[in-house]
Structure 1
Amino acid sequence: MQSRAAEDLKKRVTDGLVEAGLTYAGAAALSTPRRLTLAVDGLLAESPTIREERKGPKVGAPDKAIEGFLRGAGVTREQLEERETPKGPVYFVQIEKPGRPAAEIIAEVLEATIRNFPWPKSMRWGAGSLRWVRPLHSILCILSDEAGTSVVDLDIDGIKAGNTTRGHRFMAPDEITVTGFDDYAAKLKRAHVVLDARERAEAIWQEATNQAFANGLDVVEDKGLLAEVAGLVEWPVVLMGAIDEEFLELPPEVLQTSMKEHQKFFSVKNPKTGRIEKFITVANRETADNGATILAGNQKVLSARLADAKFFWENDLRTAKSEAGMSAWVENLGNVTFHNKLGTQAARIDRIAALAREIAPVVGADADLAEQAARVAKADLSSEMVYEFPELQGLMGRYYAEAAGLPQDVANACEAHYSPLGPGDDVPSEPVSVAVALADKLDTLTGFWAIDEKPTGSKDPFALRRAALGVIRLVLENDVRLHLSNVLNKAVFTRDLSVRIQKANSATVKLQEIQAGAVDQKIAAELYKEKLGTSDPKAVTDEVFDKAEDLLTFFHDRLKVFLRDQGIRHDVIDACIAMEGNDDLTLLVKRARALEDFLKTDDGENLLQGFKRANNILSKEEEKDGVEYSFGADRKFAEHDSEKALFDALEAGGAAISPAIEAEDFAAAMRGMAALRAPIDAFFDAVQVNADNEILRRNRLNLLNQIRKVCGQVADLTKVEG
């Protein structure tokens, strides 16, 4: 809230000043927990005088029209000037707006900014109408130049602007008089206030790492926590405390999360053992006992917090090691609703397990292990630890799976299947983890597509864009050859049928009751008729498979965003998406990268122009003649040497490109394309396609079709921009 407020203050004030004619050289905004500061350099002493000419109504216009113009312009009738125009005599007037002192403009702009400040949360206090994030105590507003300093005349609900502020609330609460920004910053620092949040953060991190280093320890880096703590203090005092011995055996992530979430402590670990043994807290003041009392109080509260965490941990371990093991938690998830249209978490686990088993062979995973991992991956959602700290889901699942004696691949999948959560997150690489991660995300996407809950505009409440990007990264970074259309058709169909059955008779339908392999339209229609008695099952299945196709388009849209960030043009991706096999994302990206590299070469650029020229001529003539020139050109009608050479080149190019495409050697296919560049250029330089001889013309148009056909094996070049 602080950093955003500083930027809002800067933008609103500087925009208001410029709009009023006051330009400036530079501006900087700073914040602490108790103050917002804006320093503006090089501000004009007054706004310039503005002269403008305004055109009015025609001479002889009704009096009301003329009077309205006079009021709007702020002039009298005597100031009007008649001028001849192509449309007859018209009134004009010269308007002069004199400049205004900077202090007057600043007062207006600052009052409007303060009264309309966009706080996410604000309050009103006392008898005034002003709303602010907390009660506003004072406003310091001064103008400084070589002649001296003046206070801007400003009064907001009884709070008058002045040239004074106060230092640290406890260490230097007296008034401080300032003469300019440099004086303000220097005096505040002497009064135990560090104005710049970045400087506070740097001081905290440096002192924290120094203290840890002196004890042979490391501070666990956490940039978000560092920024938050820097926003909580004006005078950071770094203190290091110890964690009681009885809590040191807790998983380090539990300690770190508990200390961060509840008390804003940094974790300090032993690099030799990986254990978190101490903590860093940041006080807002210096004390006579060098923080001993503060540390004692913090350690007392921390011990109580960690006692709760230890209790949860030990209880959860007993459950995981029991005879029932993690299956008891899975059963509890039968009472937890995932979505009112998609059933419980337990039903979702059944779906993910079936899908993970199906995907396992594609990613090189053992199908039994993949199914086992999928069935326990979300079990920790029922654990006491994850109930207290939801951000530990998955991680705790790994600990509990290990404690339950499950295979290590299964335990690792419990933690890894949520990944990747964002563009910077690591992607799982173990086959079982990849299978479960893909199944988890694909179930989410196909489920919400089946019930028509798709992202709209900037709204994406179920994080479906993130899930799609996760699938894309899992596939690409593990070089997975997965035909998404098959998976999406099957998954959307089973979810749609399940939802319709539940809606029809309120029965809970297990996945096994639906033919998971029924992707064929005819079989799908028969199932709808059998389960629902649908009068027109084909119409329903058409709708369902349209949803699956729409979901594949969504994947392509997310892939465009992903590849665009890697420097691959959107039109290049579109050209490859238009090709057969576009549901194999790995193949699609290999094709796109090869085409992108080819088009950056001279051969690629010039061949594209030659292709477009051929395609444009051919398309125009086909439309004009009402026929398709695709019956094959005949070499015996070739008159010119360049024409014959093009026949030879296309024959050789087709022979080179086709097997290369079949072998997925797109680099070789591009080399085959490159060989066509010179013959195509020579052909267009020497030959007139639309010859007077109709036989020659048709043959040459069919030859252009050969160009389109041979080049079209690589990508749909019509979609690539010139």
Structure 2
Amino acid sequence: MPDLLIELFSEEIPARMQMRASEDLKKHVTNGLVEAGLTYASAAAFATPRRLCLTVEGLLAASPTTREERKGPRADAPDKAIEGFLRGTGLSRDQVETRATPKGDVLFAVIEKPGRPATEIVGEVLENVIRTFPWPKSMRWGTGSLRWVRPLQSILCLLSAEDGSEIVPVDVDGIVSGDTTEGHRFMAPGRMSVSSFEDYEAKLKQAFVVLNPEERSRHIWADATNLAFAAGLEVVEDRNLLAEVSGLVEWPVVLMGDIADEFLDLPPEVLQTSMREHQKFFSVRNPKTGRIEKFITVANRETEDNGATILAGNQKVLGARLADAKFFWENDLRVVHQVGLEGMARPLADVTFHNKLGSQADRIDRIEALARMLAPQVGAKPDLAGEAARIAKADLASEMVYEFPELQGLMGRYYAEAAGHNDGVPEACAEHYSPLGPTDDVPTGPVSVSVALADKLDMLAGFWAIEEKPTGSKDPFALRRAALGVIRLILVNDLSLSLHGLITQADERADADDLMAFIHDRLKVVLRDQSIRHDIIDACLSMPGNDDISLLTKRAKALQAVLETEDGENLIQGFRRANNILTQAEDRDGVEYSFGPDPKFAETASEKTLFAALDDVEARIAPAMTAQDFPAAMAAMADLRAPIDAFFTDVQVNSENETLRRNRLNLLHRIRSTCSSVADLSRIEG
């Protein structure tokens, strides 16, 4: 079985496209081979800035011959029916068989397709893949019609086996396949021939090209951390930057440079962001002070001066970038000291948040009012919550955030500290956007929590009020994320809040019931991720007070814990039996049996025991529910399992004695209402 090697060599491929492109090459080529009858043992794809590579091992040397039998119309069918059958098979009338069947003579076609050599199939598949490759952006060059992300220069396509290798002929707009590739652009220019993937990978490394992007990443990180450690420093981890930089170089050479003293007092986030966004540099931090003191850059070549010239050029460019950042920082601080953060925020009155929801300043006023109202419920002082809300978004008007929008919030904290704010207000400026996702840290400081909740509830209620809700996969205002943020803030901080009332306070035009349904949908996802069953969630959502997310979650977890026990599982069966008998009787009789059973009509010991058990359980459930002690309430409910089982074993509910029958049906109603005071067990499945 031969192995296949493909390389598509071009000008530099943008780093952000390389991983997806290598995956697409693997998927489209292997799918095409399999559809044509060529199976394989394994496949792997790689990318460097100048090449996409695919290796396929254990490929069939040829596709198998296939034999297909098709049943056609009766032999005496109309001519048009027979002609249509023949066209579909590609055969003539004398090439089909006539066979006797219980329904008469029927035409049968046997279509045999001979196998084809792998070289022929691979060539067709690869040409089609190249011409239809799904680049996010592509270009044409010269006079040809071919589109590629950057000008395609050569195609390597090779089938190799123990007895040698052969070039698979491919011609795409004059680019003819061969068995050669190129090494590093500067350190090993010129072409070289290869005979297999192993030979290809080894010769590339000799020519200063590391083919595997994961190997490049490991090399970069190891060298960077070793350089930093030797200087008593540490590299700030940045996985996205590492992936990007490994896609910019074929032969990574890691260098560590200095940051001029005049920039060392800039906030570390400013240094890190400026170096990452503009220069693709890693930040190197002093673990004792937390300051960013050096940078790591990754060159694409070795030099005789060990990178000294490269570092000098990088440091010069970095100095100019950081001079801009320092200017923004000092100018923003000057504004803060002159007019305070509320003064810095004044231009936001001229910034539209949404044409139906007013300016950013209008939104800040709404957030302040809501944060003040929330403050006592989350343990914050209303004046501090209001103060934080007024200045939390002031940094949106700063020059630093204008240049680096991803620093919003973080810069707000620095400016708040510079303005003399304290007692959790600076932290609220930094944290009120959080959590931004399912794994993001959740604020726990009372002031931060009050402003973060107010910010997200204002978003949700406002957009609900103007009918700008998410639809399908479209959520332009990130309202699903806002709802998830509300849920996580409440659950992590164990807050008991009536969201229905808060939504109305945020914007009385909003349909609070509809928005609560939206929030409940997000909560279902959260609870399912915690292995809470969907029917248990529904059973708890049906209860009063379901706008208290914390209460609802505790109820669901307690109910699941009970239902995972034998008593809980059997109680559900008893409850379902009682509910079914009662529902049927009420439907048949046209009355509701809810007038309270009388124990004096209890005939059997099990009937009397059930009355006593209900008295005991109800006396335990009521205070437990008042105290929101759901485990205790659920445990009390589970104690009904045995007396209910015994009751149904000994007692005929639909007695011929009408007085006994009514009393027993009222007793079933008492079972239903007692259990339903804890959760809507009718929604439990199974």
TM-score (norm 1): 0.90
- The whole-number CA distance in structure 2 between the counterparts of 1:199 and 1:414 is 41
Which segment drifts farther, 38-47 or 208-217? 38-47
- The whole-number CA distance in structure 1 between the counterparts of 2:186 and 2:87 is 57
SS at match of 1:613: helix
- The whole-number CA distance in structure 1 between the counterparts of 2:379 and 2:145 is 67
Tell me the C-alpha RMSD between the 2 structures. 1.8
1:659 positional shift: 2.0
- The whole-number CA distance in structure 1 between the counterparts of 2:281 and 2:184 is 23
- Sort the Cα spacing of 1:366 and 1:162 in 2 relative to 1 into closer, same or farther, 3 A: same
1:621 positional shift: 4.0
Deviations 1:476-507 (A, max 9, x none): 111111111111122221xx4xxxxxxxxxxx
- Sort the Cα spacing of 1:178 and 1:341 in 2 relative to 1 into closer, same or farther, 3 A: same
- The whole-number CA distance in structure 1 between the counterparts of 2:549 and 2:671 is 27
Give the total of aligned pairs.
Answer: 670
Which segment drifts farther, 226-235 or 672-681? 672-681
Aligned position for 2:593? 629
Which segment drifts farther, 425-434 or 96-105? 96-105
- The whole-number CA distance in structure 1 between the counterparts of 2:354 and 2:89 is 62
- Sort the Cα spacing of 1:623 and 1:15 in 2 relative to 1 into closer, same or farther, 3 A: farther
Aligned position for 1:668? 632
Q: Is 1:259 paired with 2:223?
A: no
Q: Is 1:549 paired with 2:525?
A: no
Which of 102, 105, 108 pairs up with 2:118? 102
Deviations 1:288-309 (A, max 9, x none): 1111111111100000001111
Which segment drifts farther, 252-261 or 630-639? 630-639
Aligned position for 2:198? 182
Q: Is 1:135 paired with 2:134?
A: no
Q: Is 1:372 paired with 2:387?
A: yes
- The whole-number CA distance in structure 2 between the counterparts of 1:117 and 1:26 is 22
Deviations 1:359-412 (A, max 9, x none): 111111110111011001111111111111111111111111111112242111
1:214 positional shift: 0.7
- The whole-number CA distance in structure 2 between the counterparts of 1:626 and 1:77 is 75
1:88 positional shift: 5.1
Check the 8 A contact 1:633/1:702 in 2, yes or no: yes
Check the 8 A contact 1:356/1:438 in 2, yes or no: yes
Which segment drifts farther, 471-480 or 81-90? 81-90
Matches within 5 A, 1:553-632: 553-632=517-596
- Sort the Cα spacing of 1:332 and 1:640 in 2 relative to 1 into closer, same or farther, 3 A: same
- The whole-number CA distance in structure 1 between the counterparts of 2:496 and 2:604 is 47
Letter in 2 for 1:42: G
Q: Is 1:360 paired with 2:324?
A: no
1:93 positional shift: 2.4
Which of 451, 457, 469 pairs up with 2:484? 469
Matches within 5 A, 1:208-223: 208-223=224-239
- The whole-number CA distance in structure 2 between the counterparts of 1:701 and 1:17 is 70
Which of 347, 352, 366 pairs up with 1:337? 352
Letter in 2 for 1:550: D
- Sort the Cα spacing of 1:680 and 1:88 in 2 relative to 1 into closer, same or farther, 3 A: farther
1:574 positional shift: 1.4
Matches within 5 A, 1:682-693: 682-691=646-655
Letter in 1 for 2:523: L
Matches within 5 A, 1:78-97: 78-83=94-99, 89-97=105-113
Aligned position for 2:404? 389
SS at match of 1:46: coil
- Sort the Cα spacing of 1:50 and 1:708 in 2 relative to 1 into closer, same or farther, 3 A: farther
SS at match of 2:106: strand
SS at match of 2:340: coil
Residue segments in structure 2 that go unaligned for 5+ positions in a row? 1-16
Which segment drifts farther, 110-119 or 296-305? 110-119
- The whole-number CA distance in structure 1 between the counterparts of 2:295 and 2:429 is 29
Aligned position for 2:13? none
- The whole-number CA distance in structure 1 between the counterparts of 2:52 and 2:175 is 16
- The whole-number CA distance in structure 2 between the counterparts of 1:80 and 1:700 is 78
Aligned position for 2:619? 655
SS at match of 1:471: helix
Check the 8 A contact 1:402/1:408 in 2, yes or no: no
SS at match of 1:138: strand
- Sort the Cα spacing of 1:53 and 1:674 in 2 relative to 1 into closer, same or farther, 3 A: same
Q: Is 1:318 paired with 2:282?
A: no
- The whole-number CA distance in structure 1 between the counterparts of 2:37 and 2:648 is 60
Deviations 1:50-90 (A, max 9, x none): 22222222333221121111111222223433445565553
- Sort the Cα spacing of 1:113 and 1:634 in 2 relative to 1 into closer, same or farther, 3 A: farther
Aligned position for 1:162? 178
- Sort the Cα spacing of 1:645 and 1:207 in 2 relative to 1 into closer, same or farther, 3 A: same
Check the 8 A contact 1:492/1:548 in 2, yes or no: no
1:706 positional shift: 2.4
Letter in 2 for 1:360: A
Aligned position for 1:300? 316
Q: Is 1:717 paired with 2:681?
A: yes
Check the 8 A contact 2:384/2:423 in 1, yes or no: no
Which segment drifts farther, 682-691 or 18-27? 682-691
- The whole-number CA distance in structure 1 between the counterparts of 2:656 and 2:124 is 78
Deviations 1:97-123 (A, max 9, x none): 222222222122212211111111111
- The whole-number CA distance in structure 2 between the counterparts of 1:55 and 1:676 is 66
Deviations 1:215-243 (A, max 9, x none): 11110111111011011111100010000
- The whole-number CA distance in structure 2 between the counterparts of 1:286 and 1:49 is 54
Check the 8 A contact 1:419/1:427 in 2, yes or no: yes
Aligned position for 1:414? 429
Check the 8 A contact 1:329/1:379 in 2, yes or no: yes
Aligned position for 1:509? none
SS at match of 2:151: coil
Check the 8 A contact 2:370/2:505 in 1, yes or no: no
1:658 positional shift: 2.2
Q: Is 1:487 paired with 2:451?
A: no
- Sort the Cα spacing of 1:112 and 1:638 in 2 relative to 1 into closer, same or farther, 3 A: farther
- Sort the Cα spacing of 1:21 and 1:416 in 2 relative to 1 into closer, same or farther, 3 A: same
Aligned position for 1:500? none
- The whole-number CA distance in structure 1 between the counterparts of 2:107 and 2:654 is 62
Q: Is 1:58 paired with 2:74?
A: yes
Aligned position for 2:454? 439
Which segment drifts farther, 113-122 or 568-577? 568-577
1:699 positional shift: 4.0
- The whole-number CA distance in structure 1 between the counterparts of 2:534 and 2:109 is 53
Deviations 1:252-277 (A, max 9, x none): 11100100000000000111111111
Residue segments in structure 1 that go unaligned for 5+ positions in a row? 497-543
Check the 8 A contact 1:591/1:666 in 2, yes or no: yes
- Sort the Cα spacing of 1:50 and 1:381 in 2 relative to 1 into closer, same or farther, 3 A: same
Letter in 2 for 1:347: D
Runs of 4+ in 1 over 6 A off after TM superposition: none
1:716 positional shift: 1.1
- Sort the Cα spacing of 1:443 and 1:191 in 2 relative to 1 into closer, same or farther, 3 A: same
Letter in 2 for 1:384: E
- Sort the Cα spacing of 1:571 and 1:71 in 2 relative to 1 into closer, same or farther, 3 A: same
- The whole-number CA distance in structure 2 between the counterparts of 1:620 and 1:110 is 68
Which of 17, 20, 26 pairs up with 1:10? 26
- Sort the Cα spacing of 1:236 and 1:59 in 2 relative to 1 into closer, same or farther, 3 A: same
- The whole-number CA distance in structure 1 between the counterparts of 2:518 and 2:556 is 18
TM-score (norm 2): 0.94
- Sort the Cα spacing of 1:603 and 1:89 in 2 relative to 1 into closer, same or farther, 3 A: farther
Deviations 1:326-357 (A, max 9, x none): 12222111110111111100111111111111
- The whole-number CA distance in structure 2 between the counterparts of 1:620 and 1:163 is 81
SS at match of 2:335: helix
